[in-house]
Each structure stands twice: as structure tokens, then as C-alpha cells.
Amino acid sequence: MRSLAGKLAPDFDATAVVNGHEIVHGFSLSQYRGNKYVVFFFYPMDFTFVCPTELHAFQEKLAEFEKRNVAVVGCSVDSEYSHFSWLQMPKKEGGIQGVKYPIVSDFSKEISENYGVLAGDYTLDENGRIRYEGTPVAFRGLFLIDKEGIVRHIVINDLPFGRNVDEVLRMVDALQHFEENGEVCPANWSKGKEALKATEEGVSNYLSHH
């Protein structure tokens, strides 16, 4: 699979549900280019078990993302009507009521395919019939996209494993620290910790003190 790291994030024109109840046609990531960072994440399917924990976790930290000028956008292969119905279901019943960030419908699976997260492939059998091998949903892919539309961080989890939203915030902080200070971030770096000057001298100075 070709990695998108360092490349322009594939754009799309799709339908999304925003603010928990508005169905919007012609939704695309290009609307944020030049203005906002984007955390674009995929989850396998509506009305499941692990997925609502992730969607609520992103909502709970949404103010932290917005403080960093980051738009959070979710996506799955379900229709916009499935998204809408799930958004009306209370959390205690397994729903995602209260989620306000956009949730994109990738009903055609084209977006998942372009981002390399579709959990399977279409093939032809010996009789020329199209078959799907794998699970026709998206892996738990996450893409941190800078304001120029470039993918700067990727993580892809298999279906059973939820993500750590605090780690996503840490990566946003690392990207913004690098952009603002020209310093690179070593292992286990977090906001407020010492980073490295992106020179041989800076690396040597860091190593000599640690």
C-alpha cells in the first residue's frame, strides 16, 4: 500500500451530517485548506460497539482541537441516513447523540480506497464474477492534515482496536511546535518539553544533556 505521508490528502465530494442533524451535500476537505488543520478519521461502521466510544472521545476533546485550529471529521462506509439515525440515538443506548463534528458518508467506499484503509479488495473469480475478499468497511485510519492539505501523520488500527485521542492531540502539538519553532520532537515529547534544533549541533547538545 502506497503511503500518503508527505503527500496531498485525497479530496472528495461527498455527503456528510454536520452539527448532529444537518445533511450537507458537496462536503469536502478542501474547504479547510489554507485555514485549518484537519484530523480526518475513519471508523468501520455505525451502530457497533467500539466505534461509539471513539466518536464520543473525539467529541469530548473537540474544544481542545478547536483551540488548536483543528477541524475533526469522521467517516465510515454507512449512508448519511444511517449516520443521521445513529446521531439521534442517546449515548446510553449505544448511540452518538451529542456528536457535533462532521461525519462523512463513504457509501461508495471510494474515499476509504483512496486513503488506503478499505479492509479488503474486489477481485474477479474464474467465472468473471466480482467478489469481495475481506470486510467491506474501513480500518480505523486517522490522518493529520496540515493547513496546506499535506498528510503529516497516519495511524491505522485493525478493526478491534480503538484509538487514543490524547495521542492525536499530542501529534497536533508536535506538528504545530515544529512549524512555529523549527524544532523536531523526540520520542515521548509532549507540549512544554524540550525539543531538538533540526541541526547536527542541536542533536548533539540534546544528547549530551540526557
CB atoms within 10 A of CB 67: 10
Please name the residue that has the C-alpha cell 492539505: 149
Q: Which residues contact 196 (CB under 8 A, 6 or more apart)?
A: 183, 184, 185, 186, 202, 203, 206
CA angle, 162 then 23 then 51, to 5° = 10
Name the catalytic one among 16, 51, 72, 75: 51
Q: What is the DSSP letter of 47?
A: S
Residue 75 catalytic? no
Distance CA 157, CA 44 (A): 11
Distance CA 7, CA 51 (A): 28
Question: Torsion angle, CA of 36/42/47/52, rounded to 10 degrees?
Answer: -60
- Run of H or E residues at 37: strand 37-42
Among residues 86, 104, 103, which one has the least CA distance to residue 95? 86
Active site residues: 51
